[in-house]
Amino acid sequence: MRLGFSPEEEAFRAQAAAWLAAELDGPFADVRHITSLTASPRRRRDWEKRLGEAGWSCVGWPRAYGGRDATLAEQVIFAEEYARAGAPPRLNHIGIELAGPTILAFGTEEQKARFLPAIARGEKIWCQGYSEPGAGSDLANIRTRAWRDGDDWVIEGQKIWTSLAQFSDWIFVIARTGEGSNGPKGLSFLLIPVDQRGVTVRPIHQITGEAEFNETFFDGARTDAANILGAPGDGWKVAMGLLGFERGVSTLAQQMNFRNELDAVIAAARANGEAKNPLIRQRLAKAEIGLKIMRYGALRMLTDAESGRLNPAALTYKIQWASWRRDLGELAMDVLGVAGETVAGHDYAFPMLPNLFLYSRADTIYGGTNEIQRNIIAERALGLPREPRGDLK
């Protein structure tokens, strides 16, 4: 058992850090320290392209598709350095962390060659079409339909919570293609261009005042027959494989962002004297401890993953960080007091810490609510009986 990274891995860290510092001190200084997910989309698209040119966009992907063949450890290290450098949120995070890995796992050679390099070069931005108004946690209950019409799929229906659809070129959708099927059967996983007449994107304003996500309507939208991942009817399997990616490596990168957020809370507490309040100090210490524990928990899971073991402890990770961050948001407001309640100017756009308080209420919902996570832990890790369902006989 060993705590740190190897000298080779540390050399990789130094290389990544040097490149990031040069770019973010230089041509991309204007996007440094952006934390909003919707700010400066044009410049962040330029940034995606710059990352792609230099081979830093999708470091874990095979070189053949625009990646760098980085090991799991190197992927974590890059993500840490990315956040440490204050680089902006990835405009294409769905493409990089979800669409790409899923295409890599389930796509044909043609699909990989067509879609992956375009993501890695920062040319095509992706969003996801999973949830529907009637299918949130009960994801298999979706009603969006698709059927074959000559050389095309035709899509009819509605998706919701499609993050960053307003900036996206492509969307992946699970749609019902099996006539009369229900539940996880008869679903297909389709890749659909956003910029077409049959697709309408309508922003949804969220509690922060931003509109990161959208309702997306499909009204006779079309995509080429070849743009299906897996066989017709395999959609659930593909979609669940993808959720695995979402809960896996991609969440590890967040910790350095969390570090930045906690540092900001501590700085605020020192500045206004709240750090001398023992009740606040206890909570700050708790947050420090929680963050460190998450780091070593992640190292534990990654060590297992590198050697091909699947540790059920990994199932606890989403709930760990989501709850930790929600608590940090509340602590931030308790530190700021009433000063956190107002914002300069006329726009409803709060600075980092009050915004964290509002935004972190999404963490315990998206990607599977804390309640769904608890079911998963109880059933898959602890082997408890499944909750009886009302709709499946």
Partner 1 sequence: MDFAFTDEQAMIAETAHAFFAENATSPRTRTAMAATGKDAGIDRALWTAFCTELGLSGVGIPEAMGGAGLGMVERAILAEEGGRHTAALPFLASLGLAAPAILAGGSAEQRSRLLPGLASGERIASFAVASADGAAGAALGDGTLTGTALHVPHGAVADLFVVVATNGVAIVERGAPGLAVTPLTSMDQTRPYARLDFDSVAAEALADPRAATNAAFVTGWLAIAADALGGAQACLDRTVAYAQERVQFGRAIGSFQAYKHRLADMMVEIEQARSAVYWAACAIDEGSDEAMFAVHAAKAFACDTYSHCAGEMIQLHGGIGFTWEHDAHLFFKRARSNASLLGAPDWHREQVAGLAGLDRAA
The rounded distance, in Å, linking the Cα atoms of 163 and 93 is: 10
Beta carbon nearer to partner 1, 64 or 285: 285
Instruction: Say whether residue 290 binds partner 1 (CB under 8 A).
Output: yes
Instruction: Report the length, in residues, of the chain.
Output: 393
Instruction: Say whether residue 282 binds partner 1 (CB under 8 A).
Output: yes
Instruction: Say whether residue 377 binds partner 1 (CB under 8 A).
Output: yes
Binding-site member from 15, 111, 303, 369 for partner 1 (CB under 8 A) = 303
Least distance CB 331 / partner 1 (angstroms): 12
Contacts with partner 1 in 115-174 (CB under 8 A)? none
Q: Which long-range contacts (CB under 8 A, 24 or more apart) does 307-314 make?
A: 312/380, 312/381, 313/381, 314/247, 314/248
Instruction: Say whether residue 1 binds partner 1 (CB under 8 A).
Output: yes
- DSSP state string for 295-349: HHHHHHHHHHHHTT---GGGGGHHHHHHHHHHHHHHHHHHHHGGGGG--SSSS--
Nearest alpha carbon to residue 34 among 21, 43, 26, 23: 43
Binding-site member from 286, 340, 367, 369 for partner 1 (CB under 8 A) = 286
* Local structure of 145: helix, strand or coil: strand
Nearest alpha carbon to residue 220 among 202, 190, 197: 197
From the list 166-174, 191-199, 273-281, 343-351, the region that binds partner 1 by CB under 8 A is 273-281
Catalytic residue among 246, 288, 306, 341: 246
Helix (H), strand (E), coil (C) string for 198-260: CEEEEEECCCCCCCCEEEEEEEEEEEECCCEECCCCEHHHHHHHHHHHHHCHHHHCHHHHHHH
274: annotated active-site residue: no
From the list 118-126, 151-159, 210-218, 376-384, the region that binds partner 1 by CB under 8 A is 376-384
Which residues are registered as beta bridge partners of 146?
Answer: 155
Q: Which helix (H) or strand (E) holds 381?
A: none
Instruction: Say whether residue 247 binds partner 1 (CB under 8 A).
Output: no
**Sign of the four-CA dihedral 76, 78, 84, 89:** negative
Beta carbon nearer to partner 1, 202 or 286: 286
Find how far residue 322's CA is from the centre of its chain.
12
Compute CA distances 77 → 54, 58, 59, 205, 242, whole Å.
17, 13, 10, 34, 22
From the list 102-110, 146-154, 226-234, 296-304, the region that binds partner 1 by CB under 8 A is 296-304
Kindly write out the interface string for residues 8-47 of this chain, putting x where it contacts partner 1 by CB under 8 A and - elsewhere.
Answer: -x--------------------------------------
Contact 230, 189 (CB under 8 A): yes
The rounded distance, in Å, linking the Cα atoms of 52 and 67 is: 9
Binding-site member from 266, 343, 352, 358 for partner 1 (CB under 8 A) = 266
Binding-site member from 16, 94, 284, 362 for partner 1 (CB under 8 A) = 284
The rounded distance, in Å, linking the Cα atoms of 348 and 211 is: 12
Instruction: Say whether residue 352 binds partner 1 (CB under 8 A).
Output: no
User: Contacts with partner 1: how many residues (CB under 8 A)?
Assistant: 55
Binding-site member from 25, 138, 288, 341 for partner 1 (CB under 8 A) = 288
Instruction: Say whether residue 304 binds partner 1 (CB under 8 A).
Output: yes
Instruction: Say whether residue 72 binds partner 1 (CB under 8 A).
Output: yes
* Local structure of 149: helix, strand or coil: strand
Contacts with partner 1 in 315-344 (CB under 8 A)? 316, 319-320
Chain residues in the site for partner 1 (CB under 8 A): 1-3, 5, 9, 72-73, 76, 266-267, 269-271, 275-276, 278, 281-282, 284-286, 288-290, 292-294, 296-297, 299-300, 302-304, 306-307, 313, 316, 319-320, 371, 373-375, 377-379, 381-388
**Residues identified as active-site:** 246
